[in-house]
């Protein structure tokens, strides 16, 4: 795994993280297992996977927002100065949240407080970290609204969320998130609740923030087609593990894992008009069904006998492009086989 060649430390360095779900019977089942990833300064990294693959929990674990049933079992999450977020404690985490790392969620309707004006909400977010006066916070909110492309920012301050469109609400959320100029923005499915045209606008906005402020983005999505356009690197997660990672263009052009290839084949495209969409048959194995071998073996067209016995290790499929698949060991055949 490489950083994008920058000399400075990554903004986020997740090392071998394992998250467990405590079951009633006292057993704990891994929901995220052995995941490592780095986000460099100004980099946009996408985590892609279907529902239940653990991508959201992984993102929540960064800021210590895991639901009570999930335990941080192993690993480390380091921020830029080398401090481990997972050992920071409540007060320390509060200082990091919003200030160094901010997070935005899927549904901007429910993520905004229905009883406060949007201006007040953004101003509160600013005042959480910076002791400035209400008027100062308001002036900064107007500037932020302008920055995220909201129309007539002054009058918008006094509007309640229910009067705004979905795209505007998500822009308000982003304004809140970047209000204290965090180094890293974690966006958990930020466009899923929005119209297709608005989705592109929101992604373009994140790209703009990266270019203007050097904000790194960790973008979580189930939509490989969507993130491919804006990400520098892509991680594909399946059943709690990263199965493939690499530069976005590389992963899309030459997927090295059958699961990634399956995801790509299931994206509807104008060029595929008339031909059948190819879904990945079956579904993600439930937590208790995950055994020794590769979790994707039950759905994989290329599964071999050893796939169910031993978990595949990471192998290189290109320059800084890696995948966890036994097929990789038969170098050269892999790319051909899953096409």
C-beta separation of 194 from 206 below 8 A = no
Q: Select from 24, 114, 131, 268 the one that contacts other proteins (CB under 8 A).
A: 114
Q: Which is nearer to other proteins, 175 or 327 (CB)?
A: 175
CB of 262 to other proteins, least distance (A): 31
Q: Which is nearer to other proteins, 26 or 114 (CB)?
A: 114
CB of 320 to other proteins, least distance (A): 30
SS3 string, the chain, reads CCCCCCCCCCCEEEEEEEEEEECCCCCEEEEEEEEEEEECCCCEEEEECCCCCCHHHHHHHHCCCCCCCEEEEEEEEEECCCCEHHHCHHHHHHHHECCCEEEECCCCCCCCCCCCCHHHHHHHHHHHHCCCCHHHHHHHHHHHHHHCCCCCHHHHCCCCHHHCCHHHHHHHHHHHHCCCCCCEEEEECCCCCCCHHHHHHHHHHHHHHHHHHCCEEEEEECCHHHHHCCCCEEEEEECCEEEEEEEHHHHHHCCCCHHHHHHHHCCCCHHHCCCCCCCCCCCCCCHHHCCCCCCCHHHCCCCCHHHHHCCCCEEEEECCEEEECHHHHCCCHHHHHHC
Does 115 sit near other proteins (CB under 8 A)? yes
Does 124 sit near other proteins (CB under 8 A)? yes
Does 113 sit near other proteins (CB under 8 A)? yes
Of the candidate spans 121-129, 203-211, 223-231, 271-279, the one that interacts with other proteins by CB under 8 A turns out to be 121-129
What is the per-residue binding string for other proteins in 37-66, x denoting contact by CB under 8 A?
--------------------------x-x-
Does 23 sit near other proteins (CB under 8 A)? no
Does 125 sit near other proteins (CB under 8 A)? yes
Chain positions 164 to 203 lying near other proteins, rule: CB under 8 A, are 173, 176-177, 179
Q: Select from 23, 51, 110, 165 the one that contacts other proteins (CB under 8 A).
A: 110
Does 95 sit near other proteins (CB under 8 A)? yes
Q: Which is nearer to other proteins, 96 or 327 (CB)?
A: 96
Chain positions 128 to 167 lying near other proteins, rule: CB under 8 A, are 128-129, 162
Give the alpha-carbon dihedral of 134, 103, 105, 296, to 10 degrees. Answer: 180
Residues binding other proteins: number (CB under 8 A): 29
Q: Which is nearer to other proteins, 125 or 168 (CB)?
A: 125
* CA–CA separation, 216 and 204 (whole Å): 14
Q: Select from 72, 105, 145, 296 the one that contacts other proteins (CB under 8 A).
A: 105
Of the candidate spans 96-104, 194-202, 216-224, 285-293, the one that interacts with other proteins by CB under 8 A turns out to be 96-104
Binding residues vs other proteins (CB under 8 A): 63, 65, 94-99, 102-105, 107, 110-116, 124-125, 128-129, 162, 173, 176-177, 179
């Amino acid at each position: 795994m490489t950083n994008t060649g920058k000399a400075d430390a990554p903004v986020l360095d997740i090392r071998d993280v394992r998250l467990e779900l405590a079951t009633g019977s006292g057993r704990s089942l891994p929901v995220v297992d052995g995941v490592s990833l780095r986000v460099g300064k100004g980099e946009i990294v996408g985590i892609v996977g279907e529902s239940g693959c653990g991508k959201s929990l992984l993102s929540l674990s960064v800021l210590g927002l895991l639901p009570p049933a999930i335990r941080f079992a192993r690993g480390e999450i380091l921020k830029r100065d080398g401090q481990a977020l997972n050992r920071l404690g409540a007060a320390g985490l509060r200082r990091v949240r919003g200030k160094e790392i901010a997070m935005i969620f899927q549904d901007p309707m429910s993520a905004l407080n229905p009883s406060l004006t949007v201006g007040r909400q953004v101003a509160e977010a600013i005042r959480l970290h910076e002791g400035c006066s209400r008027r100062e916070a308001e002036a900064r909110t107007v500037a932020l609204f302008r920055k995220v492309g909201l129309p007539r920012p002054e009058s918008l301050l006094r509007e309640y969320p229910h009067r705004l469109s979905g795209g505007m609400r998500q822009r308000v959320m982003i304004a809140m998130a970047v209000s204290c100029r965090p180094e890293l923005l974690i966006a958990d499915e930020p466009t899923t609740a929005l119209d297709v045209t608005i989705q592109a606008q929101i992604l373009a906005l994140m790209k703009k923030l990266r270019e203007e402020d050097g904000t790194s983005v960790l973008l979580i999505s189930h939509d490989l087609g969507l993130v491919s356009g804006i990400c520098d690197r892509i991680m594909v997660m399946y059943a709690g593990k990263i199965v493939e990672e690499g530069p976005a263009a590389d992963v899309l052009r030459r997927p090295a894992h059958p699961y990634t290839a399956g995801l790509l084949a299931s994206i509807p495209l104008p060029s595929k008009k008339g031909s059948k969409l190819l879904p990945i048959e079956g579904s993600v194995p439930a937590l208790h069904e995950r055994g020794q071998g590769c979790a994707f073996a039950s759905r994989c067209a290329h599964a071999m006998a050893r796939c169910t016995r031993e978990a595949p290790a990471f192998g290189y499929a290109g320059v800084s492009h890696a995948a966890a698949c036994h097929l990789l060991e038969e170098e050269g055949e892999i790319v051909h086989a899953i096409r």
